[in-house]
Amino acid sequence: MKKLTLILLILILIPAALGGGIVSGITWVPHENPSTAESRSNPAIPLIHYGEIFDQLASGNYPEATALLQQLKRMEYAHLPEEIIFTMGRYNDLTADLAGKLDDLDSTLDICEQLLSQNKLDEASTKLDEAKRLVDEATKLIETISKATEELIFQITPFASPQEATAVSEAEARLRKAMEKLAELEAWYKDKLENLDVATEEKKSLLTTTLTLNVNPSKVWVGNQVAISGELKATDIPLPARDISIFLDGKHFATITTVENGSYEASFTLPYWYISEVVAQNFYLPQGNDKSAYLASSSEIKRITTLFHSTGLSIEIPEEVYPGLPVEINGKVSSRGNVAGRSIKALLDGQPLFEIATDDHGLFKHLLMLSKGIQTGGHNLKFIVESDDEAHSAGASMNKGLNVVKVIPQMNIHVPGVIFLPRSAKFTGELYPPFSLQSVINLTGEMHSPLALKEAILTLEMAGVSTMAVIDGEEFELGLNVPFKFNIVGYEDMEASLAPVEPWHLPATCKVKIFVINLVYLVIILAAFILAGVVLLTRRRGILRKEDALYISPEKLQTPVSATEFRLPEIKLVTGDNQGIILKAYYMAVVVVQRLVRVFLKPQATLREFSSQVMPLLDRFAGLFANLTNLAEKALYSRHSLGDDEASQAQNIASQMKEQGVEKTGTENKNAGMLNTKKQTRKHE
């Protein structure tokens, strides 16, 4: 039995000790515990990626190389020593610098090339100088990076494990190859620069041209006429029939042609550009045969001050708005020009929302209703006032933050903290199936919202059952029919969920814990245990009653010993059987002794053992019982036959003990009775 218990306990404890692995099986989801993930930082990886960046640089893909580098800068080097982290940081900066320089050089040379093609020699020369400076800087950087690369390889290589050595070598080789390509690129740029230098020198032999520009008036209302004039000359020789490009604010506006004396004159309407000034500049770009004769020229810059009425806009809108609820937007357009009938467009997050016109006083009002599905949170509301060109009134715009919010209704529910079930049963006259004990839990509550709240759906849920009701007022009362399936006692969660129908409301939930006592179960269980207790008690009392029977009463001492009290061997006497007489006398004395001292002769005990147990308790019977025990032992174990005198001695002892034993017990009982009477008397007093 013990072995089986041990085996079973081991069977239980092994799965527990294995952390449930056996019970739950192995999961197949491919992810791993990050806290136990193996750290693998291959030192070759940064080298490989630097190689890739230099490849991109050498191929002229500067934006891609810069993007790669930006990412590489965000790499964490926590696993590397401080000096390498510093070196890599500087290396990154150098590489980024080189990428920037090469990119600038590339675009500068392109511009230079374009300027030369337009015979813009001065500008081309400036750009050429800039390109030369960039080439010098790039050359120095490539040289520095080459040295830094060697240093980086030297520092990183010791961190490579033997397994990573090959990868590091390959990365080194790739990086060196990329550096060689960079050197080739540098040489290519130098070649290009030299070619451009030669082309510039050639262009210096062309004739320079001058272009003048006059603007009248210098201050003008938008939409009004502006006159411009000037002349084009090549070393004081007028150049007729040449195209002059007019640029306003850097944008090509018109082209006019010079007349015979090389002059030009034109008037145009100043665009409705509501800015404080417009910059005007004219350009002459040689075309056709002029390309091989003249250099390009540009006029001085002239600034035209523009006149118009500025427009102001003020908007009033609540800080928080609710989806589905109308909100009033008030605004005012102010201007010294026209304010009446000005068109205003409103955009929500860049999307058209509404359009409205101002009244005669420049005021406008709009009742805005945001869509029910709009996301809560911050939105951008932009108002644009269109310009009124006729009245020379500028436009205006304004951005307003719009915070769309939803309100969570406040809900309180009131239920008793402790509920006895079944709480109430409705008897409606309908037939109930047996044990269809329904329990109704009633609750009251109230809900509040600063906004209109009507016909919200209230769901009450408890122990897997739910009820639903439409609530129309602020206060409500609801009953939940719960089936009879709760535990005996314990906490149950009751959840009330309010689902408002209005889009400006969010659902609200309220949870309460209720201590539920299931009386039916409790009564059944109590009854069962009481029943069991009663039966067990009855059995216990039966045992006690048997024990009580061992107490001596004078009457009982006179009666033979019952089998249940003490089962002694029955001895049938035959004439002349002295041994039997002695043993019978002994057992008779044992009965008396047992009743006097309440120590029982156990079947496995020897007569000597029993004697030694009872002797100290027997007082005056001790000697008699010792003699009788000796005689009984002789009768049992001695080889000598026992005489009649010994048999009669034994009978006498037994008779004496029986008689005196009865007297003693009677006296004790009498004394006990007197004591009780005395106690009762005192109590009455």
Partner 1 sequence: MTIRKLSVMITFVAVMLAVLVWCYPTNSDFKSENPSWNGARDFLDDFRVSPLSSLNALSVAPQESTLLVIPYMEFTTSDLKILENYVNSGGKLVVMDDYGFGNDILEHLKIETRFTGNQLMDTLFNYENENFPKIVNFVTEPATSEIENLVFNHATSLENAPHDNIIAWSSYFSFLDENQNGEYDEGEPEGPFPVIANFQIGKGELVLISDPSILINSMLEMGDNRRFLENIVQGQIFLDQSHLPEVPLDEAKGKLRIARNVLATVWGTLALILLVLILTLKPIWNMRKLKQRE
Find the binding residues for partner 1 in span 503-562 (CB under 8 A): 503, 506-507, 521, 524-525, 528, 531-532, 535-536, 539
User: Per CB under 8 A, does 438 bind partner 1?
Assistant: no
Is residue 165 a contact residue for partner 1 (CB under 8 A)? no
Using CA atoms, how far apart are residues 530 and 543, in angstroms rounded to an integer? 20
289, 367, 427, 435: which one binds partner 1 (CB under 8 A)? 435
Per-residue DSSP letter, 207: B
Does position 373 bind partner 1 by CB under 8 A? yes
**28 interacts with partner 1 by CB under 8 A:** yes
Q: Does 428 bind partner 1 (CB under 8 A)?
A: no
Range in contact with partner 1 (rule: CB under 8 A) among 25-33, 93-101, 214-222, 304-312: 25-33
Binding positions for partner 1, 398-427, rule CB under 8 A: 406
Interstrand relation of 302-307 and 219-221 (parallel, antiparallel or unpaired): parallel
Q: State the minimum distance, in angstroms, from the CB of residue 45 to partner 1.
A: 5
Instruction: Report the nearest approach of partner 1 to the CB of residue 548 (Å).
Output: 19
Contact between 375 and partner 1 by CB under 8 A: the answer reads yes
Judged by CB under 8 A, does residue 351 bind partner 1?
no
Number of alpha helices (DSSP H) and beta strands (DSSP E) in the chain: 13, 27
Question: 307 phi and psi, to 5 degrees?
Answer: -115, 135
> Which residue in the set 2, 23, 251, 548 belongs to the binding site for partner 1 (CB under 8 A)?
23
Please identify which residue in 46, 51, 262, 362 interacts with partner 1, judged by CB under 8 A.
46
Stretch that binds partner 1, among 244-252, 305-313, 496-504, 612-620 (CB under 8 A): 496-504
Neighbours of 575 (CB within 10 A): 4
Angle between helices 82-117 and 165-203 (to 10 degrees): 30
- The continuous run of DSSP H or E covering 209 comes out as strand 209-211
Given candidates 14, 17, 71, 553, which one binds partner 1 under the rule CB under 8 A? 71
Toward partner 1, which CB reaches closer, 89 or 217? 89
Pair type for strands 225-234 and 475-482:
unpaired
Q: Which is nearer to partner 1, 37 or 367 (CB)?
A: 37
Report the sign of the C-alpha dihedral through residues 336, 337, 338, 339, in that order: negative
User: What is the C-alpha to C-alpha distance for residues 443 and 476, in angstroms, rounded to an integer?
Assistant: 8
Asked if 67 touches partner 1 (CB under 8 A), the answer is: yes
Q: Is 490 in the site for partner 1 (CB under 8 A)?
A: no
Q: Judged by CB under 8 A, which stretch of 270-278, 481-489, 647-655, 677-685 contacts partner 1?
A: 481-489
Pick 30 or 603: Cβ nearer partner 1: 30
- C-beta closer to partner 1: residue 75 or 470: 75
Residues 6+ apart with CB under 8 A from 264: 229, 230, 231, 232, 244, 256, 257, 258
Please state the closest distance from residue 623 (CB atom) to partner 1, in A.
41
The correct pick among 31, 219, 251, 572 for binding partner 1 (CB under 8 A) is: 31
Q: C-beta of 46: minimal distance to partner 1 in Å?
A: 7
Interacting residues of 276 by C-beta distance below 8 A, sequence separation 6+: 305, 306
Exactly one of 2, 74, 620, 679 binds partner 1 (CB under 8 A); which one? 74
State in angstroms the smallest separation of the CB of 563 from partner 1. Answer: 11
Stretch that binds partner 1, among 416-424, 448-456, 495-503, 591-599 (CB under 8 A): 495-503
Asked if 491 touches partner 1 (CB under 8 A), the answer is no
* Rounded CA separation 264/258 (Å): 5
Residue from the set 25, 288, 417, 560 that interacts with partner 1 by CB under 8 A: 25
Q: Which is nearer to partner 1, 438 or 613 (CB)?
A: 438
CB of 406 to partner 1, least distance (A): 7
**Token pair belonging to 151:** 């240093």
Biggest alpha carbon–alpha carbon distance for the chain: 185
The one-letter code for the residue type at 510 is C
What CA–CA distance (Å, rounded) separates 601 from 50?
Answer: 103
Query: Which sign, positive or negative, has the C-alpha torsion 616, 619, 621, 627?
Result: positive
Binding status of residue 75 toward partner 1 by CB under 8 A: yes
Closest of 337, 389, 379, 326 to residue 362, by C-alpha: 337
Distance from C-alpha of 476 to C-alpha of 288, rounded to nearest angstrom: 92
For the bound state, the minimum distance from the C-beta of residue 49 to partner 1, rounded and expressed in Å, comes to 6
Check residue 42 for interaction with partner 1 (CB under 8 A): yes
- Terminus-to-terminus CA distance in the chain, angstroms? 63
CA distances from 79 to 74, 90, 159 (A): 14, 18, 10
The phi and psi torsions of 359 (rounded to 5 degrees) equal: -85, -170
Which of 35/558 has CB closer to partner 1?
35
Taking CA 449 as the corner, what is the angle to CA 446 and CA 452, rounded to the nearest 5 degrees? 110
Write a three-state SS string for 100-137.
HHHHHHHHHHHHHHHHHHCCCHHHHHHHHHHHHHHHHH
Select from 23-31, 97-105, 302-310, 609-617 the region that touches partner 1 (CB under 8 A): 23-31
Measured distance CA(272)–CA(292) in Å, rounded = 40
Residue 72 as a binder of partner 1 (CB under 8 A): the answer is yes
Is residue 460 part of the contact set for partner 1 (CB under 8 A)? no
| Cα 592 to Cα 416: distance, rounded to the nearest angstrom | 69
Query: Residue 629 and residue 601: Cα distance in Å, rounded?
Result: 13
Both tokens of 568, joined, read: 């002694």
Count of CB atoms situated within 10 Å of the CB of 471: 22
x/- site string to partner 1, residues 200 to 239, per CB under 8 A?
----------------------------------------
Residue with Cβ nearer partner 1 (40 or 620) = 40
User: Is residue 162 exposed (0-12), middle (13-18) or buried (19+ Cβ within 10 Å)?
Assistant: exposed
| Residue number with CB closer to partner 1 (373 or 569) | 373
Shortest Å distance, C-beta 393 to partner 1: 36
Bridge partners (DSSP) of residue 207 are: 294
Minimal distance, residue 432 CB to partner 1, in Å? 13
CB of 152 to partner 1, least distance (A): 16
Residue with tokens 């759906």: 457
| Comparison of 67 and 571: residue with beta carbon closer to partner 1 | 67
CB of 372 to partner 1, least distance (A): 8
Give the shortest CB-160-to-partner 1 separation in angstroms. Answer: 15
Scanning 204-250, the segments in alpha helix (DSSP H) are: none
Closer residue to partner 1 (CB): 532 or 672: 532
Residue 428 DSSP code: -
Contacts of 17 (CB under 8 A, 6+ apart): none
Number of chain positions touching partner 1 (CB under 8 A): 62
Using CB under 8 A, pick the residue from 33, 163, 235, 604 that binds partner 1. 33
Residues 6+ apart with CB under 8 A from 300: 212, 213, 281
- Among 46-54, 125-133, 223-231, 597-605, which window interacts with partner 1 (CB under 8 A)? 46-54
Residue ranges binding partner 1 (CB under 8 A): 1, 4-5, 8, 11-12, 15-16, 20, 23-25, 27-35, 37-40, 42, 45-46, 48-49, 67-68, 71-72, 74-75, 372-373, 375-377, 406, 435, 437, 484-487, 497, 499, 503, 506-507, 521, 524-525, 528, 531-532, 535-536, 539
